[in-house]
Each structure stands twice: as structure tokens, then as C-alpha cells.
Amino acid sequence: MPTVTFVSAAGDRHTVEAEIGKSVMESAVGNGVAGIDADCGGSCACATCHVIVDADWFERLSPPEEAETAMLEFAVDPQPRSRLSCQIRVTADLDGLVLHTPVSQR
């Protein structure tokens, strides 16, 4: 099973096993990762699952769709490598993915 590592703004690392086909957000919530609120449950409607993709991984992800790009405008302090974790589907190729959680989701 692929692993995903979430790095908090304070530098704490939380590595979880992620089920192929599920969203990264589902893996985070299911494993109690702090900093992923996911208020809308993964419907790309709240931006509270905002993450910043590690530079080594950003180009490996498929580009965001228009709805995600629009929703990222509502994220707190979006960055050039920001994504919504509910829109990133786990694949075997993403084994070892590193994501950074922002200081706040609100």
C-alpha cells in the first residue's frame, strides 16, 4: 500500500498508508492527520483540505481541474504548489508522496 507523509507547519511528520483509488484527504482523515479539516467531506466545496505539495512531487501529479483551481482561491494563503487533498487520488506511483499542511485552514 502506498504511503503519504504529511508535514505540519511546525515540521512534525505523519506518514500514513493510503488506499489506492481513495483521495489523499480520505487517507488523512481516516488516520487522524492534524491540519486536514475536510469540512465538505471531499466534494471540492470548502478548501479545508488544502495542502502544499512538496517540490519533488508537484510535477508528478495530474494538473488540477477548473473547480479545484477556483476553490483554492478560498484557501488560507495558497501557494504555487497548493492543491486540495480531496482532489488527489492515490495511485501506486504516488508511493512516498510528501505534502505540507498550512498553518491554518480557516
Which three three-digit cell numbers place residue 106? 480557516
What tens-digit pLDDT sequence spans the chain (106 residues)?
A: 999 999 999 999 999 999 999 999 999 999 999 999 999 999 999 999 999 999 999 999 999 999 999 999 999 999 999 999 999 999 999 999 999 999 999 7
Contact 103, 36 (CB under 8 A): no
Global confidence as pTM: 0.95
